[in-house]
Amino acid sequence: MRVASSNWERKQKESQGYAIKNFLVDRSMSILVLGTLLTVFLLTTATREMTDQIVRDGALRQAQALVQTFQSMAFSSKPSSLQIQNMVSKVEQDLKGEGQGVRLITMPANPFERRDAQGSGPLDDFQRKALRQLNEGKVPSFCGLSEYKGEVSFRYAVLLSGPEESPGVDLLLEVVQPLGSVRADIKRQIYSGAGILLGLGGLGLWFLGAVFGRLKNLRDHRAASESILQEQVQQLLSFVSRAADGDLTSDVPFQGEDSVGMLASGLSVMINQLGELVWQSQLLSRQVVSSLSEFASSALRQESIVLEQSHRSSTLAKAAVTILDSSLSVESTMESMTVVAEHTATIAASGQAGLETMEWTMTQVTQSVERIQQRLTELNDRAGNIGGVVTTITRVADQTNLLSLNASIEAEKAGDYGLGFGVVAEEISRLADQTAVASLDIEEMVNEMQNAVAAGVESMKQLAEDVGMGVLHVQTAADQLTLIMYEVQQMVPKFEEVATEIRSQSLLADDMNETIQDLEGVARSSVDAIRESNHAINELKCLAMLMQGEVERFKVHQ
Amino acid sequence: MLYLVLEIDGECYGLNALSVTEVTPLVELEQIHEGPEFLAGLLNYRGRPVPVLDLRRMIKKKPCEKRYCTRIVIVEYPRTTKTLTLGLMAQKVVRSVRVTQEFSPMELRNAPYLGGAVVERGRILHCLTLEKILSPQQALEVFG
Cα separation of A532 and A524, whole Å? 12
Got the DSSP string for B66-112? Answer: --TT-EEEEEEEEETTEEEEEEEEEEEEEEEEE--SPPBP---SS-T
- The answer to whether the CB of A87 falls within 8 A of the CB of A79 is yes
**ipTM confidence score:** 0.88
Q: Which amino acid is at A231?
A: E
- Measured in angstroms, the CA of B19 and the nearest CA of chain A are apart by 9
Contacts of A444 in chain B (CB under 8 A): none
Record: contact A398-B96, CB cut-off 8 A: no
Longest dimension (CA), chain A: 249
Cα separation of B92 and B67, whole Å? 9
Question: Which of A103, A101, A102, A157 shows the shortest CA–CA distance to A132?
Answer: A157
**Span A350-372, pLDDT tens digits:** 877 887 888 788 888 888 888 88
Record: contact B68-A406, CB cut-off 8 A: no
State which of A79-88, A309-318, A444-453, B124-133 shows the largest mean pLDDT. B124-133
Looking at residue B43, which CATH number applies to its domain? 2.40.50.180
Cα separation of A258 and A67, whole Å? 96
- Residues B17-30: what's their mean pLDDT? 91
**Span A95-128, pLDDT tens digits:** 655 556 677 776 666 666 665 555 555 677 787 7
Record: contact A433-B22, CB cut-off 8 A: no
- Return the pLDDT at A137: 72
- Which residues are paired to A169 by β-bridges? A108
Query: Measuring CA to CA, how many Å separate A105 from each of A53, A63, A169, A174?
Result: 28, 16, 10, 8
- Which of A440-467 are b and which e, b meaning 16 or more Cβ less than 10 Å from the residue's Cβ? bebbeebeebbeebeebbeebeebbeeb
Higher model confidence: residue A19 or residue B6? B6
The fraction of chain A above a pLDDT of 90, given in percent, is 1
Whether the CB of A402 is below 8 Å from some CB of chain B: the reply is yes
Q: What are phi and psi of A492, to 5 degrees?
A: -55, -50
- What CATH number was assigned to the domain covering residues A295-374+457-549? 1.10.287
- Residues A456-476: what's their mean pLDDT? 82
Give the lowest-confidence range in A5-19, A197-211, A236-250, B54-68: A5-19
Q: Which of B18, B23, B94 sits opposite A406 (nearest CB)?
A: B23
Whether the CB of B12 is below 8 Å from some CB of chain A: the reply is no
Asked whether the CA dihedral A65, A69, A74, A79 is positive or negative, the reply is negative
Contacts of B7 in chain A (CB under 8 A): none
Give the lowest-confidence range in A107-111, A343-347, A477-481, B10-14: A107-111
Whether the CB of A443 is below 8 Å from some CB of chain B: the reply is no
- The answer to whether the CB of A163 falls within 8 A of the CB of A81 is yes
Higher model confidence: residue B5 or residue A191? B5
- The whole domain housing B47 covers 2-143
Q: A with B: how many residue pairs have Cβ under 8 Å apart?
A: 40
**Span B38-54, pLDDT tens digits:** 899 999 999 999 999 99
Is CATH 3.30.450.20 the classification given to domain A2-219? Answer: yes
- Return the pLDDT at B4: 92
- The answer to whether the CB of A272 falls within 8 A of the CB of A296 is no
- Measured in angstroms, the CA of B67 and the nearest CA of chain A are apart by 11
Cα separation of A412 and A417, whole Å? 9
Cα separation of B27 and B23, whole Å? 12
- CA A110-A113-A119 angle, to 5 degrees, is 100
- Residues A295-315: what's their mean pLDDT? 83
Q: In chain A, where are the structural domains located? A: 2-219, 295-374+457-549
In chain B, how many domains are there? 1
Give the SS3 label for residue A154.
strand
Q: Does residue B21 carry a pLDDT above 60?
A: yes
